[in-house]
Amino acid sequence: MQASGRRIIKRKTWVCCRCRSLSTTSIANLAERRPNQKLPAIPARTRFAPSPTGYLHLGSLRTALFNFLTAKATGGQFILRVEDTDKKRTVEDAESRLYQDLKWAGLQWDEGPDIGGPYGPYKQSERTSLYQEHAQKLLESGHAYRCFCSAERLNSLAMERTKQGLPIDYDRTCANISSEEADERSAKGEPYIIRLKVPNVAPIYNDLVYGTVGQQKKTKESRSLHAQSSYEDPVLIKTDGLPTYHLANVVDDHYMDITHVIRAVEWMPSTPKHMFMYHAFNWEPPIYAHVGLLQDPTRQKLSKRDLSSDIRELEREGIFPEALVNYVALFGWSHRLGTDFISLQDLVNNFDLKFTKGNTIASPTKLFHLQRRYAEKYVSERGKEYDSMIERLEEEAEQYLKERPGPPIYPNSELKARVAAVLRVDAVNYTTPKKFLERNSYFFCNEPRNKWSTGSNDHQLKDAIGLLSSNFKAVTPEQWDEESLKHVFDRIADEILVRGSPEEGSQIDRGNPGLSTVQNFLRWALCGGRPGPRLISTMAILGREVSLQRIEDAASSLEALSVEVKDDSA
């Protein structure tokens, strides 16, 4: 059924038509009886209504997620509605990107422009006649008026008020024009807009986050003379006949039986105007919950550097959709699960409407922590996500090796297997494919070593290095695996400890290198001194030939460094 064919009725209960038979209790009354703000006992109908003037970002994804979870946690419906009436600012591919990004994040809608539904159409550009019809009803009831002021006059008024440090509001020049005169002027083709005539005392409403909200009448004592002569009368219908957000979202929420509206706190100043329209139409409003804005760790608005860029950029970086959704769910939602590592299904199973007041810090550190947790999970499960990680890493490795001056240490045919091996031993440090490869680049090519931190017992390392080389050379290529290397490591450690132990009645040889010094040398030789997986795993992945060659090269470098130090001291 088309929305324009529905009758305007006053509902005593606010329940979606599919579930109305399940309860006769008003959702508003349910919210009043639930001080802990748990979910309603009946299915909720929620919506995400973006404008295709930009791409999905962290804030809009959070809005979509909270509405999605509210619907799914109650067995209700999540509706996607596109508010595409701002033709001047519309981005050509924003709508198609919106569908793709929401699906990538796992937020599938039950009704929407692409799949239809019983309350369509789901694009505002296809519902224009419905908005115009209801704007006319507001005109007839005296709750709205035509404004014939030119754009030049409105701009001049705004500039003058800005100079005086006052809000950019309208002065109601056209509010007292009689309906007969307004009809005559509009019939002659004079351009106009339709404004809502906001009352001095805004309706009071209950917000799930901020409680009772209402704007009291402004008195002479609390307002300047200039402020008294201005009014926050929002535009409902533009000169092109298309609606603004204020009218369209109220009409659509009513006709689509939306029960809950969860949105950012920046829309809170507009809510009293929307509530007034509900009262003017004699409709029951949905339940509102306004959640805080997202800020960086310095309490500033998020910048692109701080992950506020569109979701597609995060996807390209290699952020897991499950990690991103988990991350976004923590923005202003208060839970008691004992962990912040929560899958989408667990979010559905445990979600409620307990939101925190105030703005929320969005730190990239938290996202990367969750990214590492999901990487470990995917590697342990060895499912499709694991296969996808290996493919991305292989692509990154190929590109990285093309940009390196020296040849790779392995043929391309072995690249995928080695990528997988490194991922299995170092998933705990996985953030993005690029960063993971940079961290572990020494597994794929010969990298410059960090500067060796010289010590007083460096000259004693010579014997220990000889011990390392002789023991590892004894391992055949067929035996070169973690189990065999562990036995060699244990044997070398025992030998070093025995050498460092004093005989009875003698003193400890302070010049003998300790086990930690030998291990530091070995990491310096194999990895250039950079952090990474444990040495046994590192040598197993590098292989016998590369490992032995790097130990030999490092020993030569250390010998040359010792000679330089000796010459300087002389």
| Amino acid present at 172 | R
Q: Backbone phi, then psi, for 79, in 5-degree steps?
A: -110, 135
Question: What torsion do the CA atoms of 445, 451, 455, 459 make, to the nearest 10 degrees?
Answer: 50
Structure confidence by residue, pLDDT tens digits, 142-157: 999 999 999 999 999 9
Q: Which two tokens stand for residue 292?
A: 């805080």
pLDDT of residue 451: 86
Residues 465 and 425: their CA atoms lie apart, in Å, by: 26
The CA distance from 377 to 206, in Å, is 42
The residues annotated with a catalytic role in the active site are 304
Q: What is the DSSP letter of 77?
A: E
The pLDDT tens digits for 267-322 are: 999 999 999 999 999 999 999 999 999 988 888 877 656 666 789 999 999 999 99
User: What local confidence, expressed as pLDDT, does residue 232 receive?
Assistant: 87
Locus of tokens 């199973």: 349
Determine the average pLDDT of the residues in 505-512: 43
Banded pLDDT at 165 (limits 50, 70, 90)? confident
pLDDT above 80: residue 457: no
Degrees, nearest 5: CA angle 335-337-342: 95
Percent of the chain with pLDDT over 90: 69
| Better pLDDT: 405 or 17 | 405
Domain 130-237, CATH among 2.60.120.1140, 3.90.800.10, 3.30.2400.10, 3.40.50.11540:
3.90.800.10
Find all residues with CB under 8 Å of 497, minimum gap 6, and list them: 515
The answer to whether the beta carbons of residues 143 and 280 sit under 8 Å apart is yes
What pLDDT sits at residue 12?
A: 34
DSSP-assigned beta bridge partners for residue 146 = 194
Angle subtended at Cα 98 by Cα 95 and Cα 102, rounded to the nearest 5 degrees: 155
Share of the chain above pLDDT 70, in %: 84
Query: The CATH number of 450-570 is which of 2.60.120.10, 1.10.10.350, 1.10.530.10, 1.10.10.10?
Result: 1.10.10.350
**Is 247's pLDDT higher than 50?**
yes
Q: What is the three-class DSSP state of 319? A: coil
- Which neighbouring-strand residues pair with 235? 195
Contact 331, 362 (CB under 8 A): yes
Put the strands of the sheet holding 205-207 in their side by side order: 211-213, 205-207, 287-291, 260-264
d(CA 153, CA 158): 9
Average pLDDT along the chain: 86
In a 13 Å sphere around the CA of 462, the CA atoms on its Cβ side amount to: 8
Kindly tell me if the per-residue pLDDT of 53 is higher than 90. yes
* Single-letter code of the amino acid located at 519: Q
Please, is 92 exposed, middle or buried when counting C-beta atoms within 10 Å of its C-beta (0-12, 13-18, 19+)?
Answer: exposed
Alpha-carbon Rg for the chain in angstroms: 34
pLDDT the model gives residue 227: 45
> If pLDDT is split at 50, 70 and 90, which confidence band does 231 have?
confident
Question: What pLDDT was estimated at residue 215?
Answer: 59
Predicted pLDDT at 570: 47
Instruction: Kindly indicate the confidence band of residue 503, based on its pLDDT and cuts at 50, 70 and 90.
Output: very low
By the 10 Å C-beta count (0-12 exposed, 13-18 middle, 19+ buried), 333 is classed as buried
Token pair for residue 512? 């003998």
What sign does the dihedral 543-544-550-551 (CA atoms) show?
positive
Average pLDDT on 331-351 reads 94
Q: Which pLDDT score, from 0 to 100, does residue 306 have?
A: 63
Please tell me the predicted confidence (pLDDT) of residue 19: 40
E strands within 346-453? 360-361
Q: Which residue has the tokens 């399940």?
A: 22
- What predicted TM-score, i.e. pTM, was given to this entire model? 0.86
The CA distance from 242 to 135, in Å, is 11
In this predicted structure, what is the pLDDT of residue 495? 85
Least confident of 105-114, 157-166, 295-304, 547-556: 295-304
Q: What is the mean pLDDT of residues 445-471?
A: 81
